């Protein structure tokens, strides 16, 4: 499991909103067949495979954003780390 730290954009967002912004956690692991698997524990079922870490995380981010957009549109509760991104 890897840890993410606040980057400059997240620190700026934290200062503007007055909230602590917690990035959505991404877990990355290598499968026995050599493929890389990435998942988002806060979004069950959101996962992606790829040949390398960069490709896998890129695919995962796109899938996670699509799922989050669907959750917001349908009125579902979004994971706690994202609530600080919206003022309304």
DSSP symbols for the chain: -------HHHHHHHHHHSS---PPP-EEEE-TTS-EEEE-TTSTT-EEEESSHHHHHHHHHHHHHHHHHHHHHHTPPPPHHHHTT---
**Residue 62: is its pLDDT beyond 50?**
yes
**Residue 77: is its pLDDT beyond 80?**
yes
pLDDT of residue 79: 80
**Residue 83: is its pLDDT beyond 50?**
yes
Q: What is the pLDDT of residues 35-50, one digit of tens each?
A: 999 999 989 899 999 9
pLDDT of residue 6: 46
pLDDT of residue 3: 43
Q: Is the pTM of this model over 0.85?
A: no
Domain ranges within the chain, ordered by starting residue: 8-80
**CATH placement of domain 8-80:** 3.30.160.250
Asked whether 46 and 30 are in contact (CB, 8 A), the reply is no
């Amino acid at each position: 499991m890897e840890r993410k730290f606040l980057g400059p954009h997240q620190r700026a967002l934290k200062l503007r909103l007055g909230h602590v912004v917690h990035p959505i956690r991404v877990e990355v692991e290598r499968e026995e067949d050599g493929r890389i698997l990435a998942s988002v524990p806060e979004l069950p079922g959101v996962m992606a495979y790829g040949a390398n870490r960069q490709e896998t995380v890129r695919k995962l981010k796109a899938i996670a954003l699509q799922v989050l957009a669907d959750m917001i549109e349908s009125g579902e509760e979004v994971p706690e780390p994202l609530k600080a991104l919206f003022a309304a």
